Amino acid sequence: MCVSRCLLCVGMSLVPMAIVCMVSNILLLIPELNIHFLLEGHVTREATWATGLWGSGFLVLLGARVFVQSSRTRGCCAFRSQMLSHVAYSCVCLLAAGSCCLVSATGLVQGPLCLYNTTTGTTWGVPLKPLADSHSGYLYNRTLWSGVCLQPRAVVEWNVVLFSVMGGTSALQTFLCAANILNSLLGLIVGQGFCHNKVSPV
């Protein structure tokens, strides 16, 4: 029953990770814990895509629920049909978590949307994004973190921490979903009994 135990472990592991991604994305939408930035459209673009909510959050939670429930499946035919559906669920979760990881990395590199000073006054924009003809990016120059953005307060640190947490967690989800694809394929091929050095009868 190694396949079933692996399904249970993956499913149980994905649940807290999905919750972390959802909470991180929600916090990214409300810098300073103030919703008026979201209502006025002054939130980082990658946060508004909400991949942590629908991708690494809801879809992964749905997959985790299926994995945990199916770990109790008995019977050769039922088990193999479940393994086939798990390959599909794992692929969906893999794409969802992978998209969240990619969006988080992009948001981290581009920097936050904030109010900053220009030669014509203050304006909303993304002043810290890397440009070919200037600095290489704010991540390599921490002196920019507190001196550029005027509002929301500490938005640079807010985005760095939350996008890093969401990106790292979704990357781990991607790894677990990829491993679960292999596990499900193994269960589909050899059935439930390979840990006991036998193949379940067809």
* Domain assignment present for 72: yes
Using a 10 angstrom Cβ sphere, with 0-12 exposed, 13-18 middle and 19 or more buried, the burial of residue 76 is: middle
With contact defined as beta carbons under 8 Å apart, do 137 and 130 qualify?
yes
* Domain assignment present for 121: no
Tally of domains in the chain: 1
Q: Is residue 79's pLDDT more than 80? A: no
> Which residues have C-beta within 8 Å of that of residue 3, sequence separation ≥ 6?
83, 183, 184, 186, 187, 192, 194
Lookup: tokens for 105: 């990395």
pTM of the model: 0.85
Section 173-198 average pLDDT: 77
- Residue 56's domain comprises 2-112+155-196
* Domain assignment present for 29: yes
* Domain assignment present for 148: no
* Domain assignment present for 139: no
* Domain assignment present for 143: no
Beta-carbon count within 10 A of 107 CB: 25
* Domain assignment present for 125: no
Check residue 195 and report its DSSP letter: G
> Which residues have C-beta within 8 Å of that of residue 137, sequence separation ≥ 6?
109, 111, 128, 129, 130
The per-residue pLDDT for range 30-67, each reduced to its tens digit, is 999 999 999 999 999 999 999 999 999 999 999 999 88
Section 171-188 average pLDDT: 90
Give the 3-state DSSP-derived string for 2-49, with helices as H, strands as E and coil as C. HHHHHHHHHHHHHHHHHHHHHHHHHHHHCHHHCCHHHHCCCCCHHHHC
The per-residue pLDDT for range 120-165, each reduced to its tens digit, is 889 999 988 887 656 567 888 888 788 889 999 989 999 999 999 9
Percent of the chain with pLDDT over 90: 58
